[in-house]
Amino acid sequence: MKNIAVIGVGYVGLVTGVCLADLGNRVVCVDILEEKIEKLNQGEMPIYEPGLEDLVERNVKAGRLSFTTSYAEGLEAADFVFIAVGTPEGVDGEADLRHVRMAARSIAEEMTHPMIIVNKATVPVGTGDWVADLIRQYRNGNDDFAVVSNPEFLREGSAISDFLDPDRVVLGSLDLDAAEKVAQLYLPLRTTIMITDLRTAEMIKYASNAFLATRISFINEIANICEALGADVKEVATGMGYDARIGQGYLDAGVGYGGSCFPKDVKALTYMAETKGRHPQLLRAVMDINDDQRRQVARKVESALGSLEDKIVGLLGLAFKPNTDDMREAPAIYIAELLRAGGATVRGYDPVAEEVAARVMPNVELSDSAYDLAEGCDALVVVTDWNEFKNLDMARIRNLMRGNVIIDGRNIYEPVPMRELGFYYRGVGRGYELV
């Protein structure tokens, strides 16, 4: 059993802490937000993540997991300190490292014995060196320490399984012994562990997210061409995916990517490249296509209705993806604003994200169910592909609506059955519907 402190209890920190505890370690999670720690100590989760609440409860009861606002308490016995604070987008697209700076300084000031500091947050290339410099600057004693980069590859909605059954674990450090000690924490997972240098490990994270974002923008570009030429992007993607060199993942045409990672990380990588005199044309195109994909949805609604003025449009799904309540960079936010700018009244429903959506989308009328949402709407837009929406009684939905327009931004329905129910149906890249 190792003693571990995790700094920051957001998506990454909380999942990391509880999973490390579930592997048999003693973990103290530290966060400066008293309200968040109080709720966790009362068993209330600050985020929605399937399976997280049960895992927290189990490990708290076992005495392996605790929460505090005190760095001194968290670091008192820690062999490893994971920094998992947020790195939001800065003014010019760069990563904002103020929380990392605060965490590094607080760790240095409370350090009373040798420890290994592990950067778990997504940070720009070179941050590991910078964190080491900060700790040397602010530490009170001469205790030994090492910095290891350990980027996270967690998908919201499946973060626990991603942690406990990962494709790989990436570790980077200038201190091979420290990296190997961190590797020992992950041995129970029986996965590939890659050890490299600090900057390469940090770059692996950015390159991975940029590539996945590129796949999404690529298939959306193909979808737009399919619409013009009369091809079906779903079948195109399936046919492409049979090629082992390509694979099926992240080839679902839709309303574009969102969330806390892809938008921020692609912008940050672009910023890093530009500051070094490089010209990341592909990354810029990825972002442009993603932005335009949201505008395409609003244009389809307006085209189908003739005008958005005085129309009621309902958004099925508000979170940026299923199985999360995360609204960061959610396509629904942008689509709603475009529709409202055209004169429409916008309603929304999400099975989980209602509380968060109420804060970030104050001008959207929230409904209690998909059926409540549909009543009186001129058009519905599928924004998030929750399983609940795939099993709706669409005949009932049609009868509740004032109009008959369905803009399926996730291609969860099939055009022919929808038209047979009396809908005017448009998907993304389902070009044969124009024949």
| Last residue of one domain, picked from the residues 196, 229, 255 | 196
Task: Enter the pTM of the model.
Answer: 0.93
261 is catalytic: yes
| Pair 234, 298 in one domain | yes
Q: Evaluate whether residue 201 is within a structural domain.
A: no
| Pair 187, 260 in one domain | no
Whole-number Å distance between alpha carbons of 434 and 118: 54
| Pair 140, 240 in one domain | no
Query: Structural domain tally of the chain?
Result: 2
The active-site residue out of 19, 29, 226, 261 is 261
Q: Evaluate whether residue 206 is within a structural domain.
A: no
Task: Please report the pLDDT score of residue 190 as a whole number.
Answer: 96
| Pair 290, 144 in one domain | no
| Pair 244, 157 in one domain | no
What is the per-residue burial (b if ≥16 Cβ within 10 Å, else e) of 13-34?
Answer: bbbbbbbbbbbebbbbbbbbee
Q: Evaluate whether residue 205 is within a structural domain.
A: no
- Residue 15 lies in domain: 3-196
Contact 258, 291 (CB under 8 A): no
Q: Evaluate whether residue 80 is within a structural domain.
A: yes
| Pair 189, 73 in one domain | yes
| Pair 106, 240 in one domain | no
| Last residue of one domain, picked from the residues 162, 196, 230 | 196
| Pair 183, 282 in one domain | no
| Pair 253, 180 in one domain | no
Q: Evaluate whether residue 204 is within a structural domain.
A: no
Contact 379, 407 (CB under 8 A): yes
DSSP H helices in 189-279: 198-229, 233-241, 262-275
| Pair 158, 133 in one domain | yes
Whole-number Å distance between alpha carbons of 248 and 393: 29
The helix/strand/coil state of 315 is: strand
Question: How do the pLDDT tens digits run along the chain, 435 residues long?
Answer: 899 999 999 999 999 999 999 999 999 999 999 999 999 999 999 999 999 999 999 999 999 999 999 999 999 999 999 999 998 888 788 889 999 999 999 999 999 999 999 999 999 999 999 999 999 999 887 779 999 999 999 999 999 999 999 999 999 999 999 999 999 999 999 999 999 999 999 999 999 999 999 999 999 999 999 999 999 999 999 999 999 999 999 999 999 999 989 999 999 999 999 999 999 999 999 999 999 999 999 999 999 999 999 999 999 999 999 999 999 999 999 999 999 999 999 999 999 999 999 999 999 999 999 999 999 999 999 999 999 999 999 999 999 999 999 999 999 999 999 999 999 999 999 976 544
Residue 317's closest CA among 223, 240, 254? 254
Residue 232's closest CA among 407, 430, 426, 425? 430
Q: How far is CA 89 from the centre of its chain?
A: 14
Residue 10's closest CA among 143, 152, 186, 179? 152
| Last residue of one domain, picked from the residues 167, 196, 225 | 196
AA letter at 64: R
| Pair 218, 151 in one domain | no
Q: Evaluate whether residue 310 is within a structural domain.
A: yes
Three-state SS letters, 208-220: HHHHHHHHHHHHH
Task: Identify the CATH number of the domain in which residue 127 sits.
Answer: 3.40.50.720
